[in-house]
Structure 1
Amino acid sequence: MQYTYLGRSGLRVSRLCLGTMNFGMVTDEAESFRIMDKAFASGINLFDTADVYGGPQAPDMEKGFGISEEFIGRWFRKSGARDQVVLATKVYQPMGTGPNDRHLSALHIRKACEDSLRRLQTDHIDIYFMHHIDRSTPWEEIWQAMEILVQQGKVLYVGSSNFAGWQIATAQGAALPRHFLGLVAEQSLYNLSSRTVELEVIPACRHYGLGLIPWSPLGGGFLGGVLRKEAEGRRTAPAMRQMMAKHRSQLEAYELFCRELGWEAAAVALAWLLHNPVVTAPIIGPRTAEQLPQSLKALEISLSEDMLGKLDAIWPGPGGEAPEAYAW
């Protein structure tokens, strides 16, 4: 396994992050344990979850949120591996039907952290991500709440998820006069077919020293050899079929390119992300333990400038970074 620093911090994490959103929703507890066993044995030390993961992500639906954290907590108790894992979870999403059971008020941050610690059966969260920007809560309140958790030893680092570049800048600007470390990582949608973050989020991460942790690095399976799976008769959701119809020519060129290289499409998509120096670790979310080795192969792939150019031709980005992407 390869390791790198998480942004400007001194924390070293694996170049792949184990995502656990499927735990409890499509993957049962026994299989989730098998996935964590295999990931940990392979050297993956960064595990990512969220308080809301595990089932229908709304509290007014059948209870399901929190299950992913509970699975991880029971795995920690069984494996004894807590001290060797860099554990990330998130706060923001609705965790109840009350008006303060969501978002980033100081009240909800404190309660959500305590609830996550209980489910995870641990005394601290290594990286506490804000799952989304809260446009109604001032940064003075958010940072004060996070500072208290850090002072109490319940949180070590703070991250953001789904932030715009200017929101990262605002957060860091508010943390600086408080002599607070602020954000160390950002989780964003980023893959070969979804490259909008190249305009402003990636430059902001580089400038402020945040590690970028891409979620959905395979576009929900879109970049994982979906045409081959279609030919093999595997079922594909209607939304995926629409995407395939819209981008069929690109998919055909991409999957042919991967076959010519002799690599799996999923591994190439992950390797493309890993070549970016701002990227710390793409989040992989295997549904079964057997899917994990496919992702690990990405660490063995080195893409030449010519290969990168061909991938850019198939999946063009927004034209570079802002403002040069659209102005002089």
Structure 2
Amino acid sequence: MARRVTVMAACVDLAFLALFLWFDAPLLAWLNLGSIALYAAAYALLARRINLPALALIWTEVLGHATLGTLLIGWDSGFHYYLLMFIPATIVSGGHRTRPFVLVVLLFLFYMGLHAAARATGTLAPLSATGLWVVHAFNVAVVFAMAAYTARYYYGTVRRAEHQLVALASTDPLTGLSNRRNLIDRAEQALQQPRHAGQPTALVIADIDHFKHINDAHGHEAGDRTIVHVAELLARCCRAQDIAARWGGEEFLVLLPATDTGAATLVAERIRAAVAAQPLAHGSAAIAVTLSLGVAEVAHDEPLGPAVARADHALYRSKEDGRNRVTVAGRA
């Protein structure tokens, strides 16, 4: 953001150079070359992440430019407006909690002091009435544009941070699937829509077989890679409207809206077969991975919890019957 501001500010100074040459005020014009040089130096420092000296150069340029412009052309030129641009940047700059407010107070005192100095000295290098109006209008336009740009930038930054927080709160960091809490939050709406249409909803619970043995034999990194491997294969077997989540540890749950028991069983079998057919490559080893799965249909007006309990019970029957299989729970 700071580098963008330096580029925009240097372009503004370049425009001032041309503007003052047009109004036959060469002293005012060539002063902008110094400002452009300061912004170039600040940009170079920012690119190398030498931030404090760069910000000091930016402050020096703006304070100096505002002071010279105001004293030479007069208060009505509008150069003092640029000082106001520092207020939001200073407040959001962080650091010690009192530092931004101290800087704002100092900026206020400088602003009022500049106003008093401009009234006391008068205009040292006056422009024509037309020139003064053009410079004032140009300064107002630049300040409006920069304020709008920085506000939009900070708004975008806040929105991106909000999206990241939502993603962190709703996504399992290892697999990228929904986490348990997010699935529970979304389940009510996912259940209601098929119910209004008179359609069933089913769910599948899957658990990685002998996961402790994988961890013990190959290490926890292999265990994590196994979970990710299964999650990727599981996601490929789901439709866009399905909600796949890491339910906990090595266990996954898939909510299948508008799906009856028979269709859910086919989905579960597809997931089981896909995982069994693709061992995980880990170094020179190929780790065979299988799943045990349980399927349950959610009864009409039944909350998610009892259906999950039935699917979980069916999953454990799959474990007891030899693993790497799908078991369907009875109806509620």
| TM-score band, normalised by shorter chain | under 0.3
Between 1 and 2, higher relative CO (CA 8 Å, sep ≥ 6) is seen in 1
For normalisation by structure 2, the TM-score amounts to: 0.21
Which has the greater radius of gyration?
2
For normalisation by structure 1, the TM-score amounts to: 0.21
